[in-house]
Structures are given as C-alpha cells and as structure tokens.
Amino acid sequence: AMEDVSAKFVSQKISRTRWRPLPAAALQPPDLFATGSWDNEDNRVSIWSAGDLGNAGLNGEYHGEPHLLCDIQHNGDVMDMQFLDQERIVVASSTGTVTVFRHHQNNQTLSANHRWEKAHYHVDQDTSCGGAACTGVVCNNPEIVTVGEDGRINLFRADQKDAVRTIDNADSSTLHAVTFLRTTEILTVNSIGQLKIWDLRHQRNEPSQIFSLAGDRVPLHCVDRHPNQQHIVATGGQDGMLSIWDIRQGTMPVSLLNAHEAEMWEVHFHPSDPDHLFTCSEDGSLWHWDTSTNVSEKPSFLHQGGRSTAYLSHSTINQSVVSAWLSNDPTKDRMEITNLIPNQTLSVNSLDVLGPCLVYGTDAEAIYVNRQLFA
C-alpha cells in the first residue's frame, strides 16, 4: 500500500497535521491540510495542497506530492491545532497562547485573526515567563475549548475577546487533551491516567464524572469520541496501550489493547466509518485498527511485525447490535490491525483521517499523504 503514499520533506519536525473539513455536501476527497511544527528555531503553521488530484493515472493512482500554499511564523511549539471552519484554524502554543489563524484562499496567505495571550499560565498572566503550554484544543464553532499544563480549562468564543468561562483548578496535574462529548459536555485526559467529563452548563468547577485507569496512573496523551455512539471513547497514553471506554458504565476502560512500544500521541476514529480507528506513536508506527464486519472472513492478526499476537476470528456476535469496540476483547471477535508505516524509526506525532485520505507528520521532518486508505 506504500505506493499510494506521497511524502514531502519539509525541514521541520511536524507536531500536528489536520485536514481542512469538507463542506457538508462535498463529494470530492479532502484537498487541503494544515501542519504545525515544533522543536525548531522558527516554528510555522502551514497550509498544503494534498497534491495533484486532477492527474489520476490509468489505474486511478494519484501523482504529485503535497505542495505548500502558504505559511506563517508561530511563536513556540505547535502543541495542537483544529480547524474552526473552512477558513480558520485554532492553534495551541507551548507558550500558553492560543491563536486563530485565517487562511485567505483568494491570495493564499495566512494571517493571525485573533490571539488569546497566555490563555494558560503557571503563576499569573502578567509575569514574563509565566506561560504554561496549551496542550490541547477542540472546536465546535463558534466555541473553542483549550486545556493546558496548568490544569486549566478555557472556553472561548471565536468572536469574543475574553474567555467565556475558565475553570482555573480543573486538574492538579497536566491536562493533555480534550474533546467534545456533546455540545455542552467535554472530556479531558490527564497525566495521572484519568478521564473526566465536564458539563459546561453547570457553574461549579467540578467534573460530573471521573474515570480512571486501574493502578498504574499512566499518563494519557490523547482521546477521541466515537462519531455516532457518543458513549464510546478511545484514549492512548505513555505506555502505548489503546483503551476503549464506555462512559455509561463503570469507571474503568471496557478494554485495554496492546498497541505501541512507546507513547501513543494521537488516536482518531474515522469520522464517517468509525469501525476504523487510527493510532500513532513515538515508536514510529501508525496503526490502522479495522473492526468492520467483513474482517471475520479473514484471519485476524497483526500485520508487518509489531507484537506477535495472533487472534482467531469469532463471527458469532451480531455486530450490528453491539459495537465491536465494546466487546470485552474486540481483537477476539474480529479485528485486523495493520502498521501502515513498517520501517519508520522516528516518532509519528500526528495523524488525521477524512474520507479515503490519511495525513501524518513525523519527527523525520516529513509529511505523508495516503489518498487510498481503503484501497
């Protein structure tokens, strides 16, 4: 499948990659994506065209590597980024600042549209060195939620100068990631293995529910919610394990799946085909987890190295009734796991999936686009 992947070497370590969302009725595959860099003298937010989609070859394969449309300097490491809409991108910085950049498509430029200076800070907002990294951002236009190393949660609105709401001591440890559960509820994960639900309608600054990894308090780095079944949540953390949670029941994960050999940096359900899930890791791998029903016809095992686990398929469960993710061990029922980049050595920091397309970024100073994910 590697021949479907085009690579672009960009002479900066890439910390985040995000597809621009497609308009609601769009039929074409995604065409633009944004990247953010980290650990460079001069960090940048960049907008790329995914490559020459007009030039499909005889067999439908695409040619042309991603090309840069525009970029802009970014102060600090890009810790996270999310498109707010077709034109605006919200970027979280290691300096604690949150910036909304606007992509002007008529002349292909980026400009800073709005900035919340030191949205996250350690001592107070006014000291010069007080900034705390903003580690995570999630958007539900016009609302923007940010979390940080300072254990703070901010709720912003795209058009308002000040925070709509701040929960100052939301967590005594670092908050690493945040996602919307529904429009009024968010989920955070922290550095002591906890997942917390916050109801933004309540004025009290306490989580409405707390879930926890048993025992080890392994830092959780990433979280994603199943797009159709909002009670199903996936997280990944420092030990590389994939945890699946059902927030309707219990306080512990429904299943823990052996995954990467090092930190898992991102986890994403496919937004329109959530039987497919993707994870990437410090160990240089990017895994595609496939629980779709047709897997039961083929033996399910881990392809291309990784842990030598072999699972047999049991197609006894009626998967239309229960999500495969919620069976006690999804791998036993039907799951196929493929490492999409078998020989990468440096960290894969970020990935995003939309339609048939995957984009990912690495510490090897490269971005990769796979336009035929399900070929």
Torsion of CA 325, 214, 301, 333, to 10 degrees: -40
Kindly state whether residue 375 falls inside one of the protein's structural domains: no
Cβ within 8 Å of residue 330, ≥6 positions away: 244, 255, 257, 291, 324
How much is the pLDDT for 259?
Answer: 92
Cβ within 8 Å of residue 20, ≥6 positions away: 30, 31, 32, 33, 34, 47, 83, 86, 103
- CATH number of the domain residue 274 falls in: 2.130.10.10
Kindly state whether residue 330 falls inside one of the protein's structural domains: yes
How much is the pLDDT for 329?
Answer: 62
Kindly state whether residue 308 falls inside one of the protein's structural domains: no
d(CA 64, CA 196): 43
User: What's the whole-number mean pLDDT along residues 329-339?
Assistant: 74
How much is the pLDDT for 29?
Answer: 87
Q: Which two tokens stand for residue 222?
A: 């990433």
User: What's the whole-number mean pLDDT along residues 201-209?
Assistant: 92
How much is the pLDDT for 282?
Answer: 97
User: What's the whole-number mean pLDDT along residues 58-76?
Assistant: 81
Kindly state whether residue 131 falls inside one of the protein's structural domains: yes
Kindly state whether residue 179 falls inside one of the protein's structural domains: yes
How much is the pLDDT for 333?
Answer: 57
Least confident of 121-135, 197-211, 235-249: 121-135
Kindly state whether residue 312 falls inside one of the protein's structural domains: no
Kindly state whether residue 43 falls inside one of the protein's structural domains: yes
How much is the pLDDT for 310?
Answer: 32
Domains: count for the chain: 1
User: What's the whole-number mean pLDDT along residues 204-229?
Assistant: 92
Contact indicator for 289, 277 with CB cutoff of 8 Å: yes
Q: Which structural domain, as residue segments, surrounds residue 60?
A: 5-293+321-370
DSSP state letters, 158-181: TT-SS-SEEETTS-SS-EEEEEEE
d(CA 310, CA 48): 39
Kindly state whether residue 239 falls inside one of the protein's structural domains: yes
> For residue 367, is pLDDT > 90?
yes
Mean pLDDT of the chain: 87
- Please, which residues bridge with residue 339 across strands? 287
